[in-house]
Each structure stands twice: as C-alpha cells, then as structure tokens.
Chain A
Amino acid sequence: MRAVIRTAVAASVLLVIYGLQVGVEAGFTEYVQRIILLAGINVILAVGLNLINGTTGQFSIGHAGFMAVGAYGAAFVGVKLSAPVHDALGPGALANAVIFNLALLAGALFAGLSGLIVGMPSLRLRGDYLAVVTLGFGEIIRILFNNASFLGSATGYFGDDPSGLPAYTNFFWVFAWTTVIVVLIHNLTFSQTGRSLTAIREDEIAAEAMATPTTRLKVTAFAISAATAGIAGGLFAHMQAGVRPEDFRFERSIDMVVMIIVGGLGSISGAILGGIFVAVSLELMRDLQQYRLVLYALLLIVIMIVRPEGLLGTRELHHRFWRKKPAKAAGPTESA
C-alpha cells in the first residue's frame, strides 16, 4: 500500500513540475527562465555542500572542482552516447531524455569517484587543513581540465557538433533532479547515518568513542556531496553551449559557501533559500559585477560576527510548520 502511495506522490510531483514548466515557459521571458534554472542548480549545489559542510562539519571550499568533473563528465558521455541511443530509439524527446539522464548519472558517478579519491586522504585531517586541501584539489582539477587536450584544454569542451552541446537542460529536468536530491539528502540527514554525521560535527572524539566509524562516514558524505555537485555540473553544462575550465574557478566554490552560510550551516531549508538568494542576487548585481564579490565578502564577515549560525541555524522550516521539535537548536560546534 505504501509503495502505491509513494509512486502516486512521486508521479503527481513530476506532473506538477511538468505543469509548472508549461506555465513558466509561457509566462516568463527567456532571461527570467534562465535565472529560475540557475536557482534550481544552485539549490542542488547548496543542499549537497551542506551535507558535508553543515551536517558533518567538514569544511570544503573546493566543490567547484567536483562540479567541473560532473559537467565535463556529463558533457562527454552525452556526446558519446548520442549516436548509439539515437540509432536504437530514433530521434525525439524520449531518446534525448535517456541520453541526458544517463549523462547526468555518469557525471555524478565521475564526481562521486573523484570525491572518494580526494576525500580518502584528506578527511583524516582536521577542519582548517581540510579546507586548504579541498581548495588545492579544486585548483588541481581545474588545472588538469585546462591541460586536457581531448576536452578542449583552456577553450573548453563543446562536443563534436559545431553548434556546441545540445541544450537538454530545461525547467522539468532541473526541478525533477532538484526534488529528487533534496528528498534524498533530507532522508539521509534525518536517518541514523545522518545522526552519526551530526555527531561527528558536534564532537568527533566523542563520536569515535561511541564506535562511530568517523572516517568512513566522512568519506561517504563527502563522496555523496561531490556526486550532487556533479549532477549540478551536468545540468549547468547542458544549459550553455560548452564547458569551460573558467566556469569553475575558486569564485564558484565561494558562491556555494555563501549559499549555505546565508541560509544556516546544517539546515536543508536554509541551503535551499541560500541557493535561491545567490542566483537572484547575482542577477540583481549583474551591473555591479565588480562590487559583487566585495559585497559577498562583507556579507560573510558580518554574518560570522553577528549571526554565525546563519539565517536559520540548523533549524528546518518545515519542522516549524509541523510543530516538530528541531533536531538540535544550537549552531554547528566543533571540539577544541
């Protein structure tokens, strides 16, 4: 019975997203639609990064690297799959949907694997060292793409077609993936494993004393987080004609950090709000491009001094509406 209800709920959610897509494509200009898509992609990035930075308390400032792996991976696989899938299914929307989703999953797989490779050595390190190592890996990944000639080196990867990568990304796919990822991360966060991750954040030594396999859990959370960044990267890649190493500079990682800090480290609803905030504020500040990062930087400093737990802290919006007790009201802390 539950399975039937769940399938019905999932189907109706997809139907609602499809209905919204028809509405959005009819009702908004191309420009506004692009902002909406970016907001969705940002939400995926923020919710994924929040799992490792907020819930687990292991600060990564190099997630742009994993987004890049996902973007390049999805673009490359998408291009290579195009011919065989079209041969099997013929041209049309179904074939495109199959190619796109397989490509996204491949991108997520590559990103998750690179997260595993990066995470295994570096997550043995304490907080601030980890931040520097992730930054370093993010840069190394970008330098590697910059020199990978089969992926177009510094010019970027535009596929085999002269018109660039196919524009698969639309409202439906972005928000279908956003919903799936938010639900998955939410369920993970409030599962037993999620409690263990929170325990690692609150006191790693105590968690270890309670026989929590801290390193294994941290690496797993890191890999999942990297994989979600990979999905976001794949969606991002198919929104524009190509993938360029330039798109994944350190600033991109900082944007992600701003998203989760504004909303509240450790809160999924906070991350969603933060992702939307960054997408909208980036567009509002388009004319003030050169002031954008100055303002973001000031915002980071002021939030840290005045309200280090962010807008929501670790609270969740829906817990308020449903009068559930929040899991833990205090902001993320770390043992000395």
Chain B
Amino acid sequence: MTQFLQQIINGLSLGSIYALIALGYTMVYGILKLINFAHGEVFMVGAYTGFYAAGALGVAGFEARNQGFPLYLAILVLLLAMAAAALLGMTIEFLAYRPVRSAPRLTPLITAIGVSLFLQNAGMLLFSPNPQRYPAILSEVRFELFGVIVTNIKLTIFAVALCLMLGLHLFVQKTWTGRAMRALSFNIDAAKLMGIDTNRVIRSTFAIGSGLAAAGGILFGLDQITINPLMGVMTGLKAFVAAVLGGIGSIPGAVVGGLLIGLAEQLTAGYLSPEYRDAITFVILILILLLKPEGLLGIVRVEKV
C-alpha cells in the first residue's frame, strides 16, 4: 500500500510536468491543426536556460557554502527560462511555420519534424551531448506522511504547475487575447473576418505554450536531477500523447491527460518493468485513437467534404 501511494505521488508530480507541456501542444493544435514536434525541444531549451541562468546567478556558490538558493532568485530563473522559451517559440513560428501555414498538411508536419531535429542537434553542439546535473535551485527537504516519503520538490512541482494552469485558464477565459485564441480555434477564417489579427494571436499562443513548456523543463530538471539535449524527445512525445488522451484542443483535457500518463508510466515502471515505461505511453496512444479518437474531454468533429 505504501509503495502504491509512493508511485501515485511520483506519478502525479511527473504527470503535472507532462500536463504543462501538453498545454502547448493542445493550444497550437487547436488553432493551426499542427503537431508542433519542436515543442519537446522548446521544453529542453527551457531547462537549459534555467541551468545556465542559475549558474550565472551563482548557484554553485550557495551550494558550496551549504546555503539554500534564495527563493527570489529561483523565481527569477524560472521567469528567465520562460521568457527565453517564449522568444524561441515565436521565432520558430515566424521562421519555419508561417511560410508553410497554408500549404497542404504534410508540409508543416515535415517542417515541424525538421525544426525538432535541428534543435536537438544544435542543442548537442551547444550544450554538449553529455547529461548535466541540474543545479539545486531548491534544496531538498524530505518528510514522511503516512509512511510515504514526500519531498518539498514534489510539492513545489504540484504547486507551480497548478498555479500556471490556473493562470492559463483565467487568461484564456477572461482576457481579450484569450477570447481571440478561442475564436481562432473555433474558426480561423471567421475570426479573421471579425478583425482579429490572427498572426498576433498565433504568436502569443506559441509564446504562452513555450513558456509553460520551459517551466515544465525546470521542474523536470529538479525532479529528475539530470538533463540532456535529447530529453525533449520522449518527454515531448509523452506530453503529446497526454494531449491526445485528454482530447486535443481541450485545455482541461491536457491537464487530465498529463496526470493520467504520468500515473500510468510510474505504475508500469513500479509494477511491470522499468523497461516498458516508454512503451506504455504508445500503447495508450494507440488504444485511445482506436477507441475514442476525440479523447476523454474532446469534442467530436465531423469530417466535412
């Protein structure tokens, strides 16, 4: 029982990271009907920006003096990484996706695969292919709750992810840009006719999605301790599956899907075999696409001729 609870805790914290990344997939897909394969790499760049920002802010010094990294600096690291990733997301959109936006669907898909590969390999050249230990921008405190070990890191992951998701929800529901995003995902041509600057809204969608992915990247670094330039491949795919599971285009769906994928992965690793933790995600993807292709919380779309 304790072991089960432990797996649940680990699964939920991993799942909230997936959920943060899945939001970016779902928002972009909702508007452009594009699987942004490069999103996993934006997540990776976010993690590395956090890594270098923490280094520049002297995290090594604090560790050497056995002091905790101050909270305001940790938040600064998070914001810097989110800003850098947002910039990267907007650049990718402008340079690679905008020129092919009106092309047949395969063209943007291949472009997205190209961007993803480019960033992976550019990352290996820039950041070195070796895994890096993530700086302790949050010193770990362990405590026991009903026999289950909980760390402040896991709690922070929940808290940060929850705050960001609530923030996104309010943004999408209450602000002008949020309403424009919903309009675009409903019908992009009609939105254009209503005088919405679609380029601007798409740009902000990429910026927000990328920022959330960067936050996910930092939390992932804290949780998993090491990062490497290929970390975005599997994590990105899992987050994409989470978005599909929840119903692509649906923001609450991405959150539910992320948590479920995190749980499924931890339970598989704990009770079956760690070898199959990556395979279970694809099994889920195939099952959901066959049984309920619109996802758990998605809307059924009728194919029109």
Of the candidate stretches B6-14, B104-112, B169-177, B252-260, the one touching chain A is: B104-112
**Closest B-chain residue to A144, C-beta based?**
B279
Q: Which residue in A140, A143, A290, A332 is a CB contact (below 8 Å) of B125?
A: A290
**Inter-chain contact A293/B120, CB cutoff 8 Å:** yes
Which residues of chain B have C-beta atoms less than 8 A from A298's C-beta? 114, 118
| Residue from A59, A61, A205 in contact with B303 in the complex, judged by beta carbons closer than 8 Å | A205
Residue from B108, B114, B233, B275 in contact with A250 in the complex, judged by beta carbons closer than 8 Å: B233
In the complex the two chains form, what is the Cα distance from A290 to B123 in whole Å? 11
Cβ of A291 within 8 Å of any chain B Cβ, yes or no, is yes
B285 touches A304 (CB 8 A): no
B125 touches A301 (CB 8 A): no
Describe A's contact surface by its main secondary structure: helix
Which one of A124, A136, A146, A293 has the greatest number of beta carbons of chain B within 10 Å?
A136
A257-B110 CB under 8 A given contacts A140-B282, A147-B275, A308-B100: yes
Return A281 CB to nearest CB of chain B, in Å.
15
Residue B99, interface by CB 8 Å: yes
Tell which of A129, A136, A146, A300 touches B110, judged by Cβ atoms closer than 8 Å: A300
List A contacts of B285 (CB < 8 A).
132-133, 136
Residues of B contacting A257 in the complex (Cβ-Cβ under 8 angstroms) = 110, 113
Q: Is B122 an interface residue (CB 8 A)?
A: yes
Compute how far the CA of A272 lies from the CA of B121 in the bound complex, rounded to whole angstroms: 27
Residues of A within 8 A of B289 (CB): 121-122, 125, 129, 133
Q: Kindly state the separation between the CA atoms of A304 and B102 in the bound complex, as whole angstroms.
A: 12
Chain B residue at smallest Cβ distance from A53 = B106
Asked whether A57 is an interface residue with its Cβ less than 8 Å from the other chain, the reply is yes
Let me know if B51 is at the binding interface, CB within 8 A: no
Verify B117–A296 contact, CB threshold 8 A.
yes
Closest CB in chain A relative to B92 CB, distance in Å: 10
A135 to B146, CA, bound (A): 41
Contact B121–A304 (Cβ < 8 Å): no
- B117 & A305 in contact (Cβ 8 Å cutoff): no
B290 partner, pick from A124, A137, A261, A308, beta carbons under 8 A: A124
**B-side interface mostly:** helix
Cβ of B299 < 8 Å from any Cβ of A? no
Given that A205-B303, A332-B106 are contacting pairs, would A294 and B125 also be in contact in the complex, using a CB cutoff of 8 Å?
Answer: yes
Name the A residues within 8 Å of B120 (CB-CB): 293
Question: Quick check: is A334 within 8 A (CB to CB) of the other chain?
Answer: yes
A333 beta carbon closer than 8 Å to chain B: yes
Name A113-157 residues within 8 Å CB distance of B. 121-122, 124-125, 127-129, 131-133, 135-137, 139-140, 143, 146-147
Q: Could you tell me the distance in whole angstroms from the C-beta of B48 to the nearest C-beta in chain A?
A: 17
Please count the residue pairs between chain A and chain B whose beta carbons lie under 8 angstroms apart in the complex.
120
Question: Do residues A128 and B290 form an inter-chain contact, with CB atoms below 8 A?
Answer: no
**Chain B residues in 8 Å Cβ range of A135:** 237
Counting CB contacts under 8 A, is B115 at the interface?
A: yes
- Taking the nearest CB of chain A, how far is it from the CB of B243, in angstroms? 11
Among B96, B106, B290, B303, max chain A CB count under 10 A is at B106
In the bound complex, do residue B118 and residue A139 qualify as a contact, i.e. CB atoms below 8 Å apart? no
Give the residues from 290 to 315 in chain A that come closer than 8 angstroms, CB to CB, to chain B. Answer: 290-291, 293-294, 296-301, 304-305, 308
Q: Is A254 an interface residue (CB 8 A)?
A: yes
- Given the complex, which residues of A lie within 8 Å of B278, measured CB to CB? 139, 143
Distance A133 CA – B289 CA, assembled complex (angstroms):
9
- Whether A332 lies near B104 (C-beta < 8 A) is yes
Q: Mark A195-207, 1 if CB is under 8 A from B, else 0.
A: 0000000000100
Docked Cα-Cα span, A298 to B283, in Å, equals 32
A261 to B276, CA, bound (A): 33
* Cα A79 to Cα B240 with chains together (Å): 41
A212 to B121, CA, bound (A): 43
Q: Which of the listed residues B117, B120, B122 has the most CB atoms from chain A within 10 Å of its own CB?
A: B117
Known: A297-B117, A334-B106. A136 touches B100 (CB 8 A): no
Are B109 and A131 within 8 A (Cβ)? yes
Instruction: List B contacts of A128 (CB < 8 A).
Output: 33-35, 105, 109
Q: Per-position contact with A for B185-215: 1 when CB-CB < 8 Å, else 0? A: 0000000000000000000000000000000
Which residue of chain B has its CB nearest to the CB of A135?
B237
- A139, A146, A205, most chain B CB atoms within 10 A: A139
- Compute how far the CA of A261 lies from the CA of B286 in the bound complex, rounded to whole angstroms: 27
The interface centre, meaning the residue of A129, A137, A250, A294 with most chain B CB atoms within 10 A of its CB, is A294
* A residues near B75, Cβ cutoff 8 Å: none
Instruction: Verify A137–B282 contact, CB threshold 8 A.
Output: yes
Q: Is B293 an interface residue (CB 8 A)?
A: yes
A132 touches B99 (CB 8 A): no
For B27-50 the 0/1 string (1 means CB < 8 A from A) is 000000111000000000000000
Contact of A308 with B237 in the complex, beta carbons under 8 Å:
no
Ordered by A's residue number, 12 sampled pairs between the chains whose C-beta atoms are within 8 Å are A57-B106, A59-B109, A127-B105, A128-B35, A290-B125, A297-B114, A297-B115, A298-B114, A300-B113, A301-B118, A304-B108, A308-B103
Additional A-B contact list (14), CB under 8 Å, known A59-B106, A296-B117, A334-B106: A59-B109, A59-B110, A127-B105, A128-B105, A136-B282, A265-B106, A298-B114, A300-B110, A300-B111, A301-B114, A304-B111, A305-B99, A308-B100, A334-B104
- Chain A residues in the interface with B (C-beta under 8 A): 57, 59, 61, 121-122, 124-125, 127-129, 131-133, 135-137, 139-140, 143, 146-147, 205, 250, 254, 257, 261, 265, 290-291, 293-294, 296-301, 304-305, 308, 331-334, 336
